[in-house]
A and B are shown apart, each in its own frame.
Chain A
């Protein structure tokens, strides 16, 4: 027995290590294949691909900027809407909710995550878009002069896409945040109460303690919103024009790949679509790295100020 232990220990370490390497290998392979398949487009357009706004399959001119813009804009808007709601749900379930209500609520929020995205798309088309159109038609004239609310009331467009995305990412952010809040040590809360904190202040202290995990949850939601395809393409209007207006139809990277890939017959067109995939891959990597960096820097500053913080909360 004692002799076999180190050997099995080694096998275990090698085995798990191999899985880790495979994971890195898969990510690298995806990057390499995407880059290789998009070579004709990379060679032809170079960095201009990231900067130009024309997407014209007829003359073979491709620029990804409207798609990059549409993807980032819709995902950021979705987070702006979803984060407060998701955090509210998480706080309510983990801190305030009566025990009898807790399980059904957890079940219901997680059910939202289980709905296929095509169903969200259909709901978007038949329920959300007419509602958004009514809202847009009711927008007063003085407000429409703002670039944020300009354009005809189509219903389809950035606002509808952001709302659908928001509903789709809420369960992700809320269930991860809930787990994070659950892992806040009881001592933290008891300490806050001992210092005379109200319930609100104690929850605030718990949220502060859990902030790195919550940022992680929000980033998870962002990642999901970036790659969402079906539901978005059904409501966003699929028009590659850059606009700040919430009412304007726009386009996302994932949507254009899904829409145009099957009919892309010539080499450059196909390569340009694959390059859109590469751009999405790179942007997702950047977003994930930035969120890591953010969490890391928060941890570092937290260590420096962790002692005065509870005092501040109690004061």
Chain B
């Protein structure tokens, strides 16, 4: 008797759970990828969760390479990357993957030269020659010519670069390949490259630490790390010949100049973009989504989220050191979002 009563109670409880489930059902969406946009993504996910309590988006910042691998294996719903997927990677994926630029970032040359307070100007060619190990002294005529009036010491240059594979390295190498044919043929573009010279630090904070500690050093970090660590960084000559310093405006300007000839899949490099006031070492960071995902409930929720992030969400960019997307690009992306199947 007792056992049948308890069985009955259990059945009721189960039925209640099943009936109640749709009302309280939470939509969980998992993603993984690039570390560079992690601060803004986690801000977005928590802000969006405040607006839509039933949608929970989890993101693991395991690196762009890991993000691409995971979305290809379909272990996550969305991926994120700092360098667009290659045509081979897209072909090797089980379904059509779309790229959506979410925010913009900039990489800046940071340096530490004792007794030099003035801001140093750089050109792409000079940066490439320093990182190729061809310019080895700070008082090299090539640097001196750009910085007339600055007394440069005759100390050796120590190059600091990322030791870990990174989207920051990808952007830096992508820029140097565009401005230096020798860099393009000798080193090339990837998340890790075969560095001709220098020492490697782990992460942006590692390179920032190396540069702030080592007298006579030069490295590259994302803008926010240069600002936070108060390391000197200089303006870089853009395609129009101006020396532009990285800022929210100059980075957004780079994307705006790319908007006019944006390819339909958004896989575009905006380093060394033409135009006035453009900072040349800028880049998109992309979200990766399947065009026709299996789970349509998640798909609907994700598309809604991306719409929000591209519009209302952009206001969180500046405080976290990112540049917001220009309106023209957002408009193109909203149109592309409609292609994703949600039912």
Contacts and interface: CB of A to CB of B under 8 A. Distances in A.
B314 interface: no
Contacts of A238: 163, 199-202
Nearest to B165: A263
B341 interface: no
B164 A259 contact: yes
A55 B193 CA distance: 8
Nearest to B92: A267
Q: Taking each of B66, B163, B167, B195, which has the highest tally of chain A beta carbons within 10 Å of its own beta carbon?
A: B163
Q: Taking each of A129, A152, A238, which has the highest tally of chain B beta carbons within 10 Å of its own beta carbon?
A: A238
Contacts of B235: none
Contacts of B206: 234
Interface residues of A, number: 32
Nearest to B194: A56
Interface stretch (B12-20, B109-117, B208-216): B208-216
A155 B62 contact: no
A260 B210 contact: no
A263 B202 contact: no
B153 to A, nearest CB: 14
A154 B112 CA distance: 13
A263 B158 contact: no
Contacts of A157: 199
B156 interface: yes
A237 interface: yes
A264 B210 CA distance: 24
A249 B192 contact: no
User: What DSSP secondary structure best describes chain A's contact surface?
Assistant: loop
B69 interface: yes
Contacts of A133: 214
Contact of A263 (B166, B201, B210): B166
A35 interface: no
A54 B194 contact: yes
**Nearest 3 Cβ contacts at the A-B interface:** A263-B165, A238-B200, A262-B63
Nearest to A256: B163
A133 to B, nearest CB: 8
A259 B63 contact: no
B89 A265 contact: yes
A129 to B, nearest CB: 7
A54 B194 CA distance: 8
A125 B209 contact: yes
A133 B199 CA distance: 14
Interface string A124-141: 010001100100000000
A129 B212 CA distance: 13
B163 A154 contact: no
Contacts of A59: 188
Interface in A85-139: 125, 129-130, 133
A22 to B, nearest CB: 29
A143 interface: no
B277 interface: no
B187 interface: yes
11 contacts: A58-B188, A58-B189, A129-B213, A152-B158, A155-B213, A156-B214, A233-B202, A259-B163, A260-B164, A262-B63, A263-B164
B192 A57 contact: yes
B194 A57 contact: yes
A57 B190 contact: yes
